[in-house]
């Protein structure tokens, strides 16, 4: 007999003995971290032991996470488009047909002097016609016209500070009230529609994101519940020999976080794949509208945030399962009759 | 070490498992708990483990009244009580060593400590050579001894056993009882619930007898009269 395990019986005051620790603080903290590392590794290796089931859970999570993130990225790209348009917003003023070039020039100077205006470009009616011929392809038909049907035109670029919907609108009114102007046009309509649509879309995406996040939490909760069921004996024994709730919960919380990690990585892969798959067609489409619209992917920070959020959701799901199912397991039943 | 004061345990409002039980056990004392099936033996042990709470009366372990012990504190009490059951509750997904190490692991003992103490406990029950085996590969008696090693590995001042010799042959049963006697000699309080009257008589120790929840014998502290019942 090497060492008698009971040669030094504890002092009888159980409660006091329970709290006092013999090992120094450092050693205590060290073994705490060793334990955490062991539990984390153990939970991960359990996941590897059932690769197909784990992969399926990751994929479900990945899809549920990728969908709202993809929509958010699309939304960001769309907001980029409307912002880009706003910065290039121009007001087009058509002169009356009988206005002379001289009169138009004076008007252009007057408008150019306004504080809200960055610059004015005058397109006289001859140049307008040439450009129209070139761009419309109606070359021959235009030859039949006796005279040029186009008026002189002023292209007004607003000052940076006036490039808001309100600013452009007030500039519009100002120019409209001037003499010799037939009609002023700015295509704010579709911009406002796009803005309204992206607002609506943003809300829809967030609602969807919240729903899918809840789905992720429930999926993980259910998976962890099954894992709790399958490790029931272990939980009973751990509680029997004095494992605290924290001790018993820990492996399952790690399991949830690992599921989250896997789900986040799958989501990132799905996002990159669909971006790669869509980028060609989108470039072509944007080219047709001579827009510089492009789908932006996830930045490094974004990918990191995605994975962290996924891990938190996994942890939360596990925590709910643990709260609901683990605390109920009491070793009373194993004591038997 | 253990004290029951007028302890009553009623399960469903009509079924009373223990009625006004009074007794106390000193440090280092070894006692048997006997009685017919359904007399309340397991219930009494469960009260000590805070697996159940008494309906009335007070259970005191090591100077600590368990009645109003908050749930959070229960694990810390259990760390000071070793338990052995007839169905030894070993885990078959890990080695003998890891089974015995569980009480140390929940306490957050350092790996060095764990190795030393687990081997000491396995040595005590004569199974040091089998530490790397799976409990499934062991005989019933060996499994029971692994359960005992797990119960004593963190040197608890109190050891409880519920039918520890359940279906073991007489020789093995006697071995295990001797092991318990050794623990009590080094100051551990041992309480063993058992049906095995022959064995109990042979051991010649204090015996608490329950009958329909009433403690009918052995209730007062050790005196000559209770020896060799
Ligand atoms: N969880 C429970 N709920 C309701 N009644 C219970 C519960 N546990 C035990 N009982 C009842 O309490 C009484 C005492 O049970 P206990 O298990 O303490 O008996 P025992 O002396 O250990 O019997 P045995 O020798 O068969 O193991 C029994 O009549 C049993 O039916
Ligand atoms: Mg019983």
Distance CA A88, CA A80 (A): 12
Q: Are residues A164 and A265 in the same domain?
A: no
Q: Are residues A220 and A328 in the same domain?
A: yes
Whether A59 is covered by a domain: the verdict is yes
Q: Are residues A166 and A234 in the same domain?
A: no
Whether A332 is covered by a domain: the verdict is yes
Whether A41 is covered by a domain: the verdict is yes
Q: Are residues A59 and A133 in the same domain?
A: no
What does the pLDDT read at residue A2?
39
Task: Among A187, A217, A232, give the residue marking a domain's end.
Answer: A187
Q: Are A336 and A286 in contact (CB under 8 A)?
A: no
Confidence of residue B223 (pLDDT cuts 50, 70, 90): very low
Packing angle, helices A51-87 and A188-230, rounded to 10: 160
Domain range for A79 is 37-84+193-336
With an 8 Å Cβ cutoff, are A13 and B62 in contact? Answer: yes
> Residue A156 is part of a domain; what is its CATH number?
3.30.70.3040
Rounded to two decimals, what is the model's pTM? 0.73
The secondary structure element, H or E, covering residue A198 is: helix A188-230
- For A116-130, A285-299, B52-66, B197-211, which range has the lowest pLDDT when averaged over its residues? A285-299
Whether A17 is covered by a domain: the verdict is no
Q: Are residues A228 and A298 in the same domain?
A: yes
Atom of ligand 1 nearest to the CA of B213: 14
Q: Are residues A200 and A145 in the same domain?
A: no
Distance CA B120, CA B128 (A): 8
Task: Among A150, A168, A187, give the residue marking a domain's end.
Answer: A187
User: Does ligand 1 have an atom closer than 6 angstroms to the CB of B112?
Assistant: no
Distance CA B115, CA B135 (A): 18
Q: Are residues A137 and A273 in the same domain?
A: no
From chain A, the residues in CB contact with B120 under 8 A are 2-5
A residues 220..279 contacting B (CB < 8 A): 233-234, 236-245, 247
Region B110-123: mean pLDDT is 91
User: Does ligand 1 have an atom closer than 6 angstroms to the CB of B38?
Assistant: yes
CA distances from A216 to A52, A57, A60, A204, B104 (A): 18, 10, 8, 18, 36
With an 8 Å Cβ cutoff, are B89 and A237 in contact? Answer: yes
- For A276-280, A330-334, B13-17, B54-58, which range has the lowest pLDDT when averaged over its residues? A330-334
> B63 C-alpha vs ligand 2 centroid, how far in Å?
26
Q: Are residues A131 and A274 in the same domain?
A: no
Cβ count within 10 A of residue A65: 28
Q: Are residues A61 and A109 in the same domain?
A: no
Whether A1 is covered by a domain: the verdict is no
- Which residues sit opposite B3 in a β-bridge? B24, B60
Those residues with Cβ within 8 angstroms of residue A136's Cβ, 6 or more apart along the chain or in another chain: none
Whether A171 is covered by a domain: the verdict is yes
Q: Are B30 and B199 in contact (CB under 8 A)?
A: no
With an 8 Å Cβ cutoff, are B37 and A337 in contact? Answer: yes
Ligand nearest to the CA of B21: 1
Averages of pLDDT over runs of 10 residues in chain A (337 residues) are: 39 43 70 87 90 92 92 80 60 86 88 84 86 76 79 84 75 85 75 74 89 93 91 90 91 95 95 87 73 73 93 95 84 58
Whether A6 is covered by a domain: the verdict is no
Q: Are residues A248 and A307 in the same domain?
A: yes
pLDDT tens figures, B178-187: 889 999 999 9
SS3 B16: strand
Q: Are residues A198 and A170 in the same domain?
A: no
> B11 C-alpha vs ligand 2 centroid, how far in Å?
15
Q: Which residues of B189-201 are buried (b: 16+ CB within 10 A; e: fewer)?
A: bbbbbbebeebbe
Nearest to A242 among B1, B103, B117 (CB): B103
Name the minimum distance, in Å, from the CA of A56 to any CA of chain B.
Answer: 25
How many independent structural domains does chain A possess?
A: 2
Task: Among A171, A187, A203, give the residue marking a domain's end.
Answer: A187
Whether A31 is covered by a domain: the verdict is no
pLDDT tens figures, A76-96: 877 766 665 555 567 888 988
Q: Candidates B15, B17, B18, B193: which one to mutate for ligand 1, based on the most atoms within 8 Å of Cβ?
A: B17
Nearest to A330 among B38, B51, B72 (CB): B51
With an 8 Å Cβ cutoff, are A14 and B187 in contact? Answer: no
Q: Are residues A168 and A266 in the same domain?
A: no
């Amino acid at each position: 007999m090497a060492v008698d395990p009971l040669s030094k019986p504890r002092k009888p005051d159980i409660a006091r003995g329970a709290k006092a620790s013999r090992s120094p603080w450092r050693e205590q903290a060290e073994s705490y971290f060793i334990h955490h590392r062991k539990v984390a590794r153990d939970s991960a290796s359990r996941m590897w032991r059932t690769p197909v089931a784990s992969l399926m859970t990751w994929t479900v999570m990945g899809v549920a996470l990728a969908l709202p993130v993809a929509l958010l990225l699309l939304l960001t790209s769309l907001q980029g488009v409307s912002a880009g348009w706003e910065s290039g917003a121009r007001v087009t003023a058509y002169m009356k047909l009988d206005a002379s070039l001289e009169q138009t020039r004076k008007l252009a100077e007057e408008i150019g002097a306004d504080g809200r205006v960055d610059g004015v470009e005058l397109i006289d009616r001859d140049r307008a016609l040439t450009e129209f011929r070139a761009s419309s392809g109606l070359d021959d038909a235009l030859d039949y016209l006796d005279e040029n049907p186009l008026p002189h035109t002023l292209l007004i670029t607003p000052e940076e500070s006036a490039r808001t919907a309100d600013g452009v609108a007030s500039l519009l009114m100002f120019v409209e009230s001037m003499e010799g102007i037939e009609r002023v046009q700015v295509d704010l309509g579709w911009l406002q529609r796009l803005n309204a649509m992206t607002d609506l879309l943003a809300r829809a995406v967030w609602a969807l994101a919240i729903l899918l996040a809840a789905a992720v939490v429930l999926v993980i909760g259910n998976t962890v519940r099954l894992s709790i069921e399958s490790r029931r004996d272990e939980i009973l024994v751990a509680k029997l020999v004095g494992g605290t709730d924290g001790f018993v919960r820990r492996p399952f919380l790690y399991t949830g976080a690992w599921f989250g990690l896997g789900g986040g990585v799958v989501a990132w892969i799905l996002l990159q794949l669909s971006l790669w798959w869509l980028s060609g067609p989108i470039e072509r489409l944007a080219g047709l509208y001579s827009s510089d619209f492009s789908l932006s992917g996830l930045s490094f920070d974004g990918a990191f945030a995605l994975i962290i959020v996924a891990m938190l959701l996994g942890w939360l799901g596990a925590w709910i399962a643990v709260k609901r199912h683990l605390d109920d397991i009491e070793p009373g039943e194993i004591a038997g009759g | 070490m253990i004290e029951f004061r007028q302890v009553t345990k009623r399960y469903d409002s009509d079924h009373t498992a223990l009625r006004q039980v009074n007794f106390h056990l000193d440090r280092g004392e070894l006692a048997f708990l006997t009685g017919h099936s359904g007399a309340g033996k397991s219930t009494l042990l469960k009260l000590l483990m805070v697996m159940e709470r008494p309906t009335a009366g007070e259970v005191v372990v090591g100077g600590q009244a368990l009645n109003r012990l908050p749930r959070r504190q229960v694990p810390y009490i259990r760390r000071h009580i070793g338990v052995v059951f007839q169905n030894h509750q070993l885990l078959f997904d890990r080695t003998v060593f890891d089974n015995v190490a569980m009480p140390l692991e929940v306490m957050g003992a350092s790996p060095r400590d764990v190795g030393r103490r687990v081997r000491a406990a396995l040595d005590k029950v004569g199974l040091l050579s089998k530490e790397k085996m799976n409990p499934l590969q062991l005989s019933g008696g060996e499994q029971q001894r692994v359960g005992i090693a797990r119960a004593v590995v963190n040197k608890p001042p109190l050891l409880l056993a519920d039918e520890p010799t359940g279906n073991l042959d007489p020789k093995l049963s006697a071995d295990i009882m001797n092991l318990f006697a050794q623990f009590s000699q080094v100051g551990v309080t041992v309480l063993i619930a058992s049906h095995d009257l022959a064995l109990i008589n042979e051991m010649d120790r204090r015996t608490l007898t329950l009958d329909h929840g009433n403690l009918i014998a052995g209730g007062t502290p050790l005196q000559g009269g209770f020896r060799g019942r």
